[in-house]
Amino acid sequence: MSYLLALDQGTTSSRAIVFDAQARVVASSQKEFEQLFPKAGWVEHRPGDIWTTQLTCAQAALEQAGLKASDLAGIGITNQRETTVLWDRKTGEPVYNAIVWQDRRTAAHCDRLRAQGKAPLIKRLTGLETDAYFSATKLAWILDHVDGARARAAAGELAFGTVDSWLIWNLTRGAAHVTDVSNASRTMLLNIQTLDWDEELLNLFNIPRSVLPKVLDSSGVMANTAATVLGGEVPIAAAAGDQQAATFGQTAFAAGEAKNTYGTGCFMLLNTGAKLVESHNRLLTTVGWRMNGQTDYMLEGSVFMGGAVVQWLRDGLGLIQSSAEVEALASSVPSTDGVCLVPAFAGLGAPHWDPYARGTLLGMTRGTTRAHIARAALESIALQTVDLVQAMQRDGAAPLLELRVDGGASNNGLLMQIQADLLGVPVVRPTVTETTALGAAYLAGLAVGVFASKDDLKNNWTVDARFEPQMGIDQRGELLDRWHRAVERAKGWTDA
């Protein structure tokens, strides 16, 4: 029983990875699922797709590794955050599709809250901006728009959860309705000082307490799987939101250490230790993890469109046949030749928080080619990250000495070089870039004794590649200035 199974439920795919006691990957399986866009600005998933793809991957990874449930010391779960599911407690049937974190349908609800002067209260209690990104307004929308949902919720018949809760519910066949503190901190319903659901917030969003899961530590046995799911009972020993898990996987355990994940979006987290740091530059104060009753807090900057920009080049524009082609295409030109892309397809996240911004492509001439647009797309990912770093430094963070990176797009060497050039500091990619799943395995392994201490985990962290900045200060300044002018043009484009 020295193996760990990490379930990594992401925005566009589910994955399962088996790790051994040295945190080495033994087997993995991944499966994409359908993205639903019922209206402009709306993004949904079928909750059944989330569960079935995740279960299929778990079974496939165990089979590939030649393991049984009895060989597993524990399961660690990590997941897309804020995505909201509401289901029937008796049948387990969802009452509506999962509303994804990217969904903007509740932007007007957030506008009303700001107009009522509620944003400072929400920020003080939750550490979050009043934005449609988070779960509270999504849950309120389902309760208000699905026939009979509010009455059923009030009667105690319905259960709400972020994706971790939905998976645990299914893994335990309905025996456990729980979440961890990191996921709970992304709902806009948790008081991040008391680390419990806040009555004032529940009243503000008109959410009945009866639908909410129990909040537990991120590392610790939360429940056991039902024997029928994987062929035996296995302890579910950890859960954490994907970005918190990635930070843990990067072993950024000390205050002042930071990482950036390049996934569907980009998410930069800076560990502030036991200190809860309030941002004055529209970053988020969030819970990193809680272990043995000790809480680590983070400053976070969220970019909604990271790797998804490359998917748009492939699926929306047809400029490339596969995501892997973008590096060679963008490398075929020395610069964007003045082209600037602001990928505000779902509004702008930190530090702008403009749900009405929209994607903007500027600076094109008759000489513009698909290669220039591809390079502008990669630059846009890196430029959004620069905005986050600068906001953190305005909040009093120590100067960044290096940036640890992970996620699928971190394997793009050109993007990482552009990132180092625009930040002016080295970018360091670890040997294991899938640190989200690794972090879930680490959290679970500490809970069940596979790993003895955090020091053991730090010793596992090794460098794959280091990208040194090569761009001059003047050129960097010109690119940042052009970017900020383009961002201003993208803001406030739509009114819905």
Q: What is the pLDDT of residues 52-88, one digit of tens each?
A: 999 999 999 999 999 999 999 999 999 999 999 999 9
Distance CA 409, CA 84 (A): 26
Residues 6+ apart with CB under 8 A from 128: 122, 134, 186, 188, 284, 285, 286
Q: What is the mean pLDDT of the chain?
A: 93
pLDDT digits (tens, 9 = 90+) for 404-435: 998 888 999 999 999 999 999 999 999 877 78
- Residue 41 has which token pair? 């600005």
CB atoms within 10 A of CB 155: 11
CB atoms within 10 A of CB 263: 22
Residue 176, CB-side half-sphere exposure with 13 Å CA sphere: 20
Burial class (CB in 10 A: 0-12, 13-18, 19+), 468: exposed
The answer to whether the beta carbons of residues 7 and 75 sit under 8 Å apart is yes
Q: Which residue has the tokens 């001439």?
A: 365
pLDDT digits (tens, 9 = 90+) for 359-396: 999 999 999 999 999 999 999 999 999 999 888 888 87
Distance CA 18, CA 445 (A): 12
Burial class (CB in 10 A: 0-12, 13-18, 19+), 417: buried
Say whether pLDDT at 440 is over 90.
yes
Lowest-pLDDT range, 139-153, 163-177, 289-303, 360-374? 289-303
Cis link prior to 469 (omega < 30° from 0)? no
pLDDT number for residue 86: 98
Question: CATH 1.10.10.10: does it fit domain 3-243?
Answer: no
pLDDT number for residue 328: 94
If we measure between CA atoms, which residue out of 399, 194, 387, 400 comes closest to residue 282?
Answer: 387
**Sign of CA pseudo-dihedral 82, 191, 283, 269:** negative
Residue 28, CB-side half-sphere exposure with 13 Å CA sphere: 14
pLDDT number for residue 496: 64
If we measure between CA atoms, which residue out of 380, 389, 386 comes closest to residue 490?
Answer: 380
More confident call, 495 vs 351: 351
pLDDT band at residue 439, thresholds of 50, 70 and 90? Answer: very high
If we measure between CA atoms, which residue out of 88, 94, 92, 126 comes closest to residue 110?
Answer: 126
Specify the pTM: 0.84
Q: What is the dihedral angle through the alpha carbons of 258, 437, 178, 119, rounded to the nearest 10 degrees?
A: 30
How far from chain centre, in Å, is Cα 179? 16
DSSP β-ladder status, 72-79 and 235-241: parallel
CA distances from 353 to 110, 188, 335, 390, 487 (A): 11, 15, 29, 15, 12
CB atoms within 10 A of CB 402: 15
Residue 14, CB-side half-sphere exposure with 13 Å CA sphere: 24
CA distances from 493 to 36, 336, 346, 380, 456 (A): 23, 24, 12, 18, 50
Q: Which residue has the tokens 């990208």?
A: 467
Burial class (CB in 10 A: 0-12, 13-18, 19+), 336: buried
pLDDT number for residue 153: 95
pLDDT digits (tens, 9 = 90+) for 201-236: 999 999 999 999 999 999 999 999 999 999 999 999
The answer to whether the beta carbons of residues 16 and 54 sit under 8 Å apart is yes
Say whether pLDDT at 313 is over 70.
yes
pLDDT digits (tens, 9 = 90+) for 316-355: 999 999 888 999 999 999 999 999 999 999 899 888 889 8
